[in-house]
């Protein structure tokens, strides 16, 4: 191989697409489709009393206690 320059077809064979851009795209997709438990936990972590309650009773119980559906007539 004596020619230091490559033609376009050969260059695309070993140069990969920007994997960082692909990773950012995948992360945004994951953010849109979070599990309900993860969303509830994040909501509870942002509210200090809920977070303190969660340390004693768990995040599921804390979310239910602070953000559970209120019954109205």
Note the pLDDT of residue 13: 64
The residue among 3 and 51 whose pLDDT is bigger is 51
pLDDT in tens, 8-63: 667 666 656 666 777 777 887 776 777 888 888 988 999 999 999 999 999 999 99
pLDDT at 17: 63
Neighbours of 70 (CB within 10 A): 5
- Domain-embedded: residue 3: no
Q: Which domain holds residue 23?
A: 11-68
Instruction: Give φ, ψ of 56 to 5 degrees.
Output: -90, -40
* Total domain count, the chain: 1
Give pLDDT, residue 62.
93
Q: What sign results for the dihedral spanned by CA atoms 24, 26, 31, 35? A: negative
Distance between CA 63 and CA 67 in Å, rounded?
Answer: 5
pTM for this one? 0.51
Instruction: Flag whether 5 is in a domain.
Output: no
- Is 21 within the bounds of a domain? yes
pLDDT score of 36:
84
């Amino acid at each position: 191989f004596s020619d230091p320059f490559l033609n376009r077809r050969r260059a695309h064979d070993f140069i990969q697409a920007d994997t960082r851009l692909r990773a950012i795209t995948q992360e945004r997709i994951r953010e849109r489709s979070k599990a309900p438990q993860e969303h509830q936990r994040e909501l509870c972590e942002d509210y200090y009393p809920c977070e303190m309650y969660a340390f004693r009773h768990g995040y599921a119980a804390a979310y239910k206690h602070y953000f559970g559906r209120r019954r109205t007539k």
